[in-house]
Amino acid sequence: MLFCKDTRKEEAKAMVPFSGPCRQALFVRREKRFLVLTLMDGKETWIHSNNTGSMLGLTRPSSTILASYSDNPKRKLCWTQEAIFCEAAGCFVGVNTSLPNRMLVQAFLAGALDFAEGYETLRTETTRKKSRFDALLEGEGLPRLWVECKNVTMVEDDVAMFPDAKSERGKKHLEELMDVVACGERAAMFYLVQRTDACCFGPAECIDEDYARLFWQAEAMGVEIHPYVARVTPKGVHLAQRLPLAYCTK
């Protein structure tokens, strides 16, 4: 899908509303990765989760969940897990892994991304060679900018970290972005940290040493690293400040 900046329209906001009304529920357990059993209005209710990570430290019994509703008759489950309240952080943590892609679009249209200044169009799900990228940004007189989006839920000692489980797919994306840079175009990782208790960002070497090694290799080669904080509310997710890199994690 192609998105174009249009200054004639009402100013866009760097905020993604949830796809439907949200309701709170209590976490009971997670099964088969994509299924979460909750207590909603006192009744056991299964909801869908699209998060393939471990959600380390978040899936604790009786934790409060935000779930959005869909009336799509083709869906097996009408509720989707959007966030979990983390007592230690004192905030909701967004766990919907499709949200960073939507936030990238909204933030681009709102002019909230400093690394995208001057770019006029954003095209999602764009193919390069044999790989598909989350976004391609283009602007007159500017090099093409290829972007991959990741959702971040893990924070340790004030450092937001990715991934929270070993990620072969994540390593493949870093390698593909390095190839983009080697061919003379721009490449970037957009990490959306959906919690507000982080002071900086870095790769989770304690989880995936190979990913951490490739992360710093890519950064040294010229792949741009853009971590942003997002504030999660029952109505949606708001883009907040950019985070510095935690070079001490090398």
| Alpha carbon separation from 110 to 9, 59, 103, 120 (Å, rounded) | 11, 34, 10, 12
Task: Domain ranges for the chain, please list them.
Answer: 17-94, 99-249
pLDDT in tens, 206-220: 999 999 999 999 999
DSSP symbols for 136-171: EEE-TTS--EEEEEEEE-EEETTEEEE-SS--HHHH
Tens digit of each residue's pLDDT (9 = 90 or more) over 5-45: 764 444 567 899 987 779 999 999 998 889 999 999 999 99
Question: What's the pTM?
Answer: 0.93
- CATH number of 17-94, picked from 3.30.930.10, 2.40.50.580, 3.40.50.2000, 2.60.120.10: 2.40.50.580
Query: Is the Cβ–Cβ distance between 104 and 135 less than 8 Å?
Result: yes
CATH of domain 99-249: 3.40.1350.60
Number of Cβ atoms within 10 Å of the Cβ of 71 = 7
Is pLDDT above 70 for 195? yes
pLDDT at residue 250 greater than cutoff 60 = no
Q: What is the pLDDT of residue 11?
A: 56
Q: Rounded mean pLDDT of the chain?
A: 93
Q: If you search the block for the tokens 């991304």, which residue do you land on?
A: 113
pLDDT value at 196 more than 80: yes
pLDDT tens track for 111-157: 999 999 999 999 999 999 888 999 999 999 999 999 999 999 999 99
Domains 17-94 and 99-249 share a fold: no
State how beta strands 79-86 and 64-69 pair. antiparallel
Sheet holding 159-162, edge to edge: 154-156, 159-162, 200-203
Cβ-proximal residues to 82 (8 Å cutoff; 6+ apart), any chain? 18, 22, 65, 66, 67, 68, 94, 95, 96, 99, 232
